[in-house]
Structure 1
Amino acid sequence: MLLSLSIRNIVLIEALDLEFGSGLSVLTGETGAGKSILLDSLGLVLGNRADSGLVRQGTEKAQVTASFSSPTKDSKLALYLSDNDIDLELGEPLIIKRSVKADGGSRAFINDQPCSAAMLREIGGWLIEIHGQHDDRGLINPRGHRRLLDVYAGVDDAKVRNAFESWQSAKAMLETALNDQEAAELDREYLEHSVAELTNFAPQPGEEQELALERATMMKGEKLTGDLEAIRTAFDGSNGGLASLRTAARRLDRISQDHPLLAEALQAIDRAVIEASEAEDKLNEAANALAFDPQRLDDMETRLFDLRALARKHRVEGDGLPQLLVDLENRLAAISDGGASLEEMETKVKVAKQAYVDAAEALRLKRVKAAKALDKAVSEELIPLKLDAARFETLLEPLDEARWGVHGMDRIEFLISTNPGAPLAPLGKIASGGELSRFILALKVALAEEGGAKTIIFDEVDRGVGGAVASAIGDRLSRLSGSAQLLVVTHSPQVASKGNAHMLINKSSNGTVSRTDVTALDNEGRRQEIARMLSGADITDEARAQADRLLERV
């Protein structure tokens, strides 16, 4: 709800501070007094274009500050502000400030935090609805008609949304699988060749390192063969060093008891025999390990070089060839199994689509029922508003499948015809300014929707009518103000008399400077203003009496 509006140096307004309450507030005044300036000022804080022509002549800057009641914690407005890093103290007013410089440029703030005009436009729809002859938002915009009908019908499209998203997800998975299958089919020849090549080669994990180590060892053996043979000859045979040590040990064993030193010598020779035997074993093992086999070396080098060439061909490390074979086999198998997988996915898509269609059709039936009720309710409201020849109809048009979405399969738009026999057409293209405002009023009263802006402004909704019609308009505005704050710019005394608060817009001039002021009227002030609206410049006793009668009916 709009709590207050502070205006500085906007056109004819030098300084103006207004406070607003709940219910119906009416604004009246002579033609040209400056009612449009108030709406332009309010438009600034709602993100309208910052025109430097709004700056009061002789001043450098114009500024408008609007204060709104705090949004609820989980409201769309509160969530939007939070997502855009605008601090919001729950329970504290939401304050929007915007300034315009005379030489161009503007600045905007929400709770003293800088923001863009686009952000103001975004939140403006949650704060205020402005309905008038130049309105291109709110009820005139067909993009909001679906939501309004759904609120009127008391339906939630969450089930349709979830079903649509599930269907789209299944379609996306199928499309990905089809693309993969197509790509795999193009690669079939390559895959078959590569799998056959790798299968035939049969690479083993760690094989490259093993082959390289064995090759290096064998090449060392070729260099060491001569030295190893000479060393082994010194150990082997009857004349070898080890045989001599054993012979000496046997002889000492026979005489070792004849003297202690001989026993010690025998022990030393026994140790030497043991160490020499171990050395002989190691030499034999080394000779076997380093055995040089020209054919084996050639085979080994061929295998190693082929393995590395195959790895380079497939752009992997040598140790990655076994895993590559597994991956290629899986891709090749997927081509063969892809048909069955695709059939399963296609079935899921069909099931998901049917679930969406069922949910959307159920929603459509509720919308059709609600649309008939809404058409009847609006039609009943049109008669006392002097629009009895007009027709109102809610269009539910099935959409092509390509345009189905999270909200269902229907295009919804409010259509009207103002003359008998005339075709139905969009709201904003048929009605004149006064008719349009009355159509919107009828809609608002019939819808009485929740979730809309808590502040609604009607600009001259009574244009071109009077008497009983103006009284009917006033009655409906009064009813509507029970669920929302209403601000009404009016020239009708019948409408003005319905207000809970009355503000008089007045323009004065000292001959050189014109100035617009707004005054909150007390009971006597209201009586005088309504009498003026009834009789004109000269207020008569009859006009005052008529004003009293109008005010008594409230």
Structure 2
Amino acid sequence: MLTSLAIRDVVLIDRLDLDFRAGLSVLTGETGAGKSILLDALGLALGARGDSGLVRHGADQASVTACFEVTETHPAFAVLDEQGLEAEAPLILRRVLAADGRSRAFVNDQPASVGLLRRLGDLLVEIHGQFDDRGLLDPATHREALDAFGNHAALLRDTATAHAGWRQAAEALDRAKADAAQARTDETFLRHAVEELDALSPEAGEEERLAEQRSLMMNAEQIAEAMSAALEHLSGERGAESGLAGASRQLGRIAGKAGPILDPALAALDRAAAEAQEAVHLLQSVASELETDPAALTKAEDRLYALRDVARKHGVEVDALPALRDRLAERLAAIDDNGGRLAALETATKAAREAYSAAAGRLSEARRKAAGRIDKAVGTELPPLKLDKARFATRIEELPEAQWGPQGIDRVAFEVATNPGQAPGPINKIASGGELSRFMLAVKVVLSQVSPVPTLVFDEVDSGVGGATADAVGERLARLGDGLQVLVVTHSPQVAARGGQHLRVEKRAGRDSTTTTVVPLSDPDRREEIARMLSGAQITDEARAAANRLMASS
């Protein structure tokens, strides 16, 4: 609910700080006192369009700060989280409007866009007046309002889930069709490429093996010479093997005389001799396998170059050629078996559409039943509001399939007919100013328990009515105030008498300026104000007595 409103330099308001209570609060005052300025100021804080004409003459800027106490589960917090803004209760919306028309917005002292302020404002306050185009006067909100009234949350979840499944199936089918069309276009290329790769039959790691083999064959002669020289050093007459054997013999002759002192050296010579013999065997083995045939070198080079040419043509690495061949073969197989795959996807898409249609149909049926209940409930509220000839009707139409969505297949619109025989039409097109506010009051009375908006503002909802009708308006506003915060600008003493909080808007003229202020009224002051509303400028004892009766009966 709106707990406070701080206004600085807005039109005739110099400095004003207001506190609001829960329940029904009424704002009264003589015509021209400035009640509309208060609504303009509140609208600024809620993201309404700013006009430099709202800045008080002589001031550099105007500012309005609105403070709201809301529960932690209120949808406003989800909006703030979506925008990456941290916030906790209370929510404080502030708008600063410069004299040159530039505007700044803040949420809990964090800079924000005016658009975000408007989104939050729509979730926190509904203002109903003759020129309002927000809240229930916006047809885009009617389907959501009907679903809230009908408690359709489970049906909405089922419909949204089915819609997501249908869209996924349809997208898979579209992709498959596009792939098939592209594959048919590329079929000749694909067949040639697969045949070429099959003929080449590339293997993973083959490029590295061929490159090593080629390098070895290209340097075979030098490698052979080096190995021959190494073998001569190892096993020649004066090679390592001969030298190790001679050293071992020399030490062996005196080993018995030296005792164990030479054992480690003899063991080391034995190991060295064994390692030298192993090296000789390895070199001889490599020498026997070393390929020096020029034809073999040519064959290896041709194979390596062929692999690299094909890889370059397809824009891949040589090692990726086997995987490329498999992918191209899969695309060919898809062409050959495309009819079966597409048929399966079409069957799945058809089934998903039918599932969505069934879920959306159940939601539509529930909406039609809820529409009957809401029409009847609103219709009951109309006669006491001097709208006994009017008719409220909820129109539900099926949308074109291209507009079906997660919320179903229906367009929902609240319509009215103000005279018998007249076709229902949009509320804001059919109803006059005073009728419009009373229609909104009737609808809000019915929807009050399901709306997430905690604060309602009615601007002259009692316009053009009096007596029993004004009393009926006041009774319904008070009933709304039992569950919501309701602020009403009124000229009706019957409505004013029902307020739990009464604020009087006054215009005060000074020597150099005129200002608008708001005065909270005590019970005696309320009686005087209501008496003034009953009798005019001259307040009589009869008017005071009548005011007492109104206050006592409210």
TM range (shorter): 0.7 to 0.9
Query: Retained in 1: the 8 A contact 2:127–2:458?
Result: yes
Q: Secondary structure at the match of 1:321?
A: helix
Query: Retained in 2: the 8 A contact 1:208–1:304?
Result: yes
1:438 alignment partner in structure 2:
438
Q: AA paired with 1:80? A: V
CA–CA distance in structure 2, aligned partners of residues 474 and 384 of structure 1 = 11
Q: Please state how far the C-alpha of 1:54 moved relative to its aligned partner.
A: 1.6
Q: Which moved more, 1:215-224 or 1:447-456?
A: 215-224
1:166 alignment partner in structure 2:
165
1:143 alignment partner in structure 2:
140
Q: AA paired with 1:358? A: A
2:355 alignment partner in structure 1:
355
Query: Retained in 2: the 8 A contact 1:72–1:78?
Result: no
2:105 alignment partner in structure 1:
108
Query: Retained in 2: the 8 A contact 1:399–1:411?
Result: yes
Larger Rg: 1
Q: Which moved more, 1:223-232 or 1:482-491?
A: 223-232
1:10–1:317 distance in 2 versus 1, CA, 3 Å: closer
Query: Retained in 1: the 8 A contact 2:145–2:451?
Result: no
2:529 alignment partner in structure 1:
529
Q: Please state how far the C-alpha of 1:484 moved relative to its aligned partner.
A: 0.6
CA–CA distance in structure 2, aligned partners of residues 231 and 117 of structure 1 = 87
1:196–1:13 distance in 2 versus 1, CA, 3 Å: same
Q: Which moved more, 1:122-131 or 1:100-109?
A: 100-109
Query: Retained in 2: the 8 A contact 1:384–1:469?
Result: yes
Q: Which moved more, 1:276-285 or 1:500-509?
A: 276-285
Query: Retained in 1: the 8 A contact 2:160–2:406?
Result: yes
Q: Secondary structure at the match of 1:429?
A: helix
Q: Secondary structure at the match of 1:87?
A: coil
1:77 alignment partner in structure 2:
76
1:194–1:533 distance in 2 versus 1, CA, 3 Å: same
1:16 alignment partner in structure 2:
16
2:421 alignment partner in structure 1:
421
Q: Please state how far the C-alpha of 1:302 moved relative to its aligned partner.
A: 3.1
Q: Which moved more, 1:159-168 or 1:291-300?
A: 291-300
Q: Please state how far the C-alpha of 1:304 moved relative to its aligned partner.
A: 3.1
Query: Retained in 2: the 8 A contact 1:392–1:414?
Result: yes
Q: Please state how far the C-alpha of 1:387 moved relative to its aligned partner.
A: 1.1
CA–CA distance in structure 1, aligned partners of residues 186 and 100 of structure 2 = 66
Q: AA paired with 1:413? A: A
Deviations 1:177-209 (A, max 9, x none): 221222222222111111111212222333333
1:432–1:297 distance in 2 versus 1, CA, 3 Å: same
2:410 alignment partner in structure 1:
410
CA–CA distance in structure 2, aligned partners of residues 201 and 374 of structure 1 = 76
Among candidates 134, 145, 152, match of residue 149 of structure 2: 152
Q: Which moved more, 1:145-154 or 1:298-307?
A: 298-307
2:48 alignment partner in structure 1:
48
- 1:286-365 alignment, distance < 5 Å: 288-290=288-290, 292-365=292-365
1:454–1:224 distance in 2 versus 1, CA, 3 Å: closer
Query: Retained in 1: the 8 A contact 2:11–2:55?
Result: yes
2:122 alignment partner in structure 1:
125
CA–CA distance in structure 2, aligned partners of residues 139 and 452 of structure 1 = 13
Query: Retained in 2: the 8 A contact 1:222–1:291?
Result: no
CA–CA distance in structure 1, aligned partners of residues 525 and 275 of structure 2 = 129
CA–CA distance in structure 1, aligned partners of residues 452 and 224 of structure 2 = 98
2:389 alignment partner in structure 1:
389
Q: Secondary structure at the match of 2:457?
A: strand
CA–CA distance in structure 2, aligned partners of residues 553 and 306 of structure 1 = 103
Give the fraction of aligned pairs with identical amino acids, expressed as a percent.
Answer: 51
Query: Retained in 1: the 8 A contact 2:27–2:489?
Result: yes
1:479 alignment partner in structure 2:
479
1:367–1:218 distance in 2 versus 1, CA, 3 Å: closer
- 1:24-35 alignment, distance < 5 Å: 24-35=24-35
Q: AA paired with 1:124? A: G
Q: AA paired with 2:29? A: G
The question of 1:199 aligning with 2:221 is answered no
CA–CA distance in structure 1, aligned partners of residues 230 and 38 of structure 2 = 115
Q: Secondary structure at the match of 1:505?
A: strand
Q: Please state how far the C-alpha of 1:339 moved relative to its aligned partner.
A: 2.7
1:15–1:314 distance in 2 versus 1, CA, 3 Å: closer
Aligned length: 523
CA–CA distance in structure 2, aligned partners of residues 278 and 408 of structure 1 = 83
Query: Retained in 1: the 8 A contact 2:74–2:452?
Result: no
Gaps of 5+ in 2: 239-269
Query: Retained in 2: the 8 A contact 1:220–1:290?
Result: no
Q: AA paired with 1:112? A: D
CA–CA distance in structure 2, aligned partners of residues 538 and 311 of structure 1 = 102
CA–CA distance in structure 2, aligned partners of residues 94 and 275 of structure 1 = 86
Deviations 1:18-53 (A, max 9, x none): 111111111111110100011011111111222222
Q: AA paired with 1:366? A: A
1:248 alignment partner in structure 2:
none
1:177 alignment partner in structure 2:
176
Q: AA paired with 1:352? A: A
1:208 alignment partner in structure 2:
207
Q: Please state how far the C-alpha of 1:139 moved relative to its aligned partner.
A: 1.0
Q: AA paired with 2:530? A: I
Query: Retained in 2: the 8 A contact 1:416–1:426?
Result: yes
Q: Please state how far the C-alpha of 1:417 moved relative to its aligned partner.
A: 1.2
TM-score normalised to structure 2 length = 0.87
CA–CA distance in structure 2, aligned partners of residues 409 and 279 of structure 1 = 85
Q: AA paired with 2:410? A: D
